[in-house]
């Protein structure tokens, strides 16, 4: 297998995406008091020049009409869908090479990211050595969790603290763990809990619709 000279950069990119969960929660929670549920499907934000080329396809796959049911909240509404990638410092064309898309529901946030050639084995060895092994439709996978950050405004003061738990599932693109990988993450505003089964359901519904998915044995 050739993960090549870019392996360290890809691992760093994946770490940035994992940490970005905290930043996104902070920003969105700051808008929660003024955001009203919208009773219509989300519309993917048009890609910007800095978005990776794979973002539109990821957003279209994740922005499903049944997404709220998949996370176990069938009464929630989609409030928005946008790119969750970033600009890689090593990208010669100025575009992030690890695209990601995120859909916001009333209280849930769901993200799918394409880790490119970063293998499941490398990811778990370097970033999540305590991840629990699993599988998604015959593909090896690894589940791990991390904390989000809460942000509270009280007049002119701002306080931060530990929020809820974000559930992550890293899944190999093919039946072998040395293939590239995708990552699905689900978390909630505040300290709401996320069921592990919700992440599994999203992965099983969304990942097989992506172009890089190689069918495995169920």
As a whole number, mean pLDDT of residues 58-86 equals 93
Q: Which residues contact 155 (CB under 8 A, 6 or more apart)?
A: none
CA angle 46–49–55, rounded 5-degree value: 55
What percent of the chain shows pLDDT beyond 70? 68
Q: In this structure, are residues 163 and 190 in contact, taking their beta carbons and an 8 Å threshold?
A: yes
Q: What is the pLDDT of residue 179?
A: 85
Q: Which contacts qualify for 123-131: CB closer than 8 Å, 24 or more apart?
A: 123/11, 123/14, 123/170, 123/181, 124/170, 126/11, 127/11, 127/14, 127/15, 127/18, 128/168, 128/170, 131/170
Which residues are within 8 A (CB) of 167 and not within 5 positions of it... i.e. 6 or more apart?
Answer: 143, 145, 185, 186, 187, 194, 196, 198, 199
The larger pLDDT score, comparing residue 53 to residue 26, is at: 53
pLDDT > 80? residue 216: no
Q: CA 103 → CA 28, 81, 199, distances in Å?
A: 12, 4, 14
What's the pLDDT tens digit per position in 196-209?
A: 899 999 999 999 99
pLDDT in tens, 20-47: 454 344 444 444 444 444 445 689 999 9
Q: What is the pLDDT of residues 138-187, one digit of tens each?
A: 999 999 998 776 656 666 777 666 668 899 999 999 999 988 999 999 99
Q: How confident is the model at residue 87 (pLDDT cuts 50, 70, 90)?
A: low
* Res. 18: pLDDT tops 60: no
CB under 8 Å to 8, separation ≥6 — which residues? none
Closest CA to 212 of 99, 96, 93: 99
């Amino acid at each position: 297998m050739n993960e090549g000279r870019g392996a360290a950069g890809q691992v760093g990119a994946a770490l940035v995406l994992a940490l970005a969960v905290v930043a996104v929660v902070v920003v969105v929670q700051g808008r929660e008091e003024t955001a009203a549920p919208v009773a219509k499907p989300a519309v993917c934000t048009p890609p910007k020049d800095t978005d990776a080329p794979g973002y539109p396809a990821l957003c279209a796959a994740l922005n499903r009409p049944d997404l709220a049911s998949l996370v176990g909240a069938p009464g929630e509404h989609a409030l928005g869908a946008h790119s969750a990638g970033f600009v890689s410092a090593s990208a010669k064309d100025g575009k992030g090479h690890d695209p990601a898309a995120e859909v916001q529901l009333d209280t849930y946030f769901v993200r799918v990211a394409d880790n490119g050639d970063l293998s499941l084995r490398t990811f778990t060895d370097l970033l999540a050595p305590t991840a629990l092994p699993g599988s998604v439709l015959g593909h090896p996978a690894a589940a791990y969790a991390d904390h989000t950050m809460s942000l509270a405004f009280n007049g002119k003061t701002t306080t931060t603290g530990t929020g809820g738990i974000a559930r992550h599932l890293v899944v190999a693109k093919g039946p072998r763990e040395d293939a590239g990988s995708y990552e699905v993450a689900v978390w909630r505003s505040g300290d709401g809990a996320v069921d592990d089964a919700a992440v599994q359901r999203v992965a099983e519904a969304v990942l097989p619709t992506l172009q890089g998915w190689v069918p495995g044995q169920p």
